[in-house]
């Protein structure tokens, strides 16, 4: 009985060590994607500041490749100032600036940057868990803040 109990404890410790090593490899994958500025986040939900959560069916995404950003995100919320004709919203390509990455709480990785769209200056804050689940927060002077959730894919 004691041998069986000891063997079970040893097996449990081996499995827990393998799992923590696997999480570490996933976290390194996420951190290298953010550091190399070569990733896409496929967005599945939008969280406007007012109103309910919106599940997205169309393929929306945010792509960072080097010093450029391709933002193909929907916008739900209040616009404080809109250019004539409605503007581009969060659908644009642009050059990013002030790109920074740093570790967050609970093994999360963070990336922040600023980008000039045709209509506005937008601040993006991206939080990524070790398994690739991501949260994007977009702040603007002319639009109410909006949040998105999705999954990071390394390019």
Domain boundaries, the chain: 28-154
Tell me whether strands 54-65 and 38-48 are parallel, antiparallel or unpaired.
antiparallel
106-120: average pLDDT: 90
The pTM of this model reads 0.80
**Which residue in this structure is represented by tokens 């999705």?**
150
Secondary structure of 58-114 in HEC code, one letter for each residue: EEEEEEEECCEEEEECCCCCCECCCCCCCCCCCEEEEEEEEEEEEECHHHCEEEEEE
Position 10 confidence tier, pLDDT thresholds 50, 70, 90? very low
15-41: average pLDDT: 73
Whether the predicted pLDDT of 19 surpasses 50? no
Model confidence over 45-102: pLDDT tens digits? 999 998 899 999 889 999 999 999 999 999 888 877 766 656 667 889 999 999 999 8
Tell me the CATH class for 28-154: mainly beta
120-146: average pLDDT: 93
The token duo for 103 is 């570790």
């Amino acid at each position: 009985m004691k041998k069986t109990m000891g063997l079970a404890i040893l097996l449990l410790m081996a499995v827990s060590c393998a799992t923590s090593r696997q999480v570490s490899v996933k976290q390194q994958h996420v951190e290298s994607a953010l550091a190399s500025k070569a990733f896409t986040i496929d967005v599945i939900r939008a969280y406007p500041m007012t109103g309910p959560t919106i599940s997205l069916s169309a393929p929306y995404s945010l792509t960072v490749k080097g010093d450029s950003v391709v933002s193909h995100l929907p916008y739900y919320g209040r616009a404080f100032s809109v250019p004539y004709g409605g503007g581009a919203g969060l659908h644009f390509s642009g050059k990013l600036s002030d790109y920074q990455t740093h570790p967050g709480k609970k093994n999360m990785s963070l990336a922040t940057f600023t980008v000039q769209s045709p209509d506005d200056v937008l601040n993006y804050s991206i939080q990524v868990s070790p398994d690739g689940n991501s949260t994007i927060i977009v702040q603007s002077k002319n639009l109410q803040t909006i949040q998105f959730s999705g999954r990071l894919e390394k390019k």
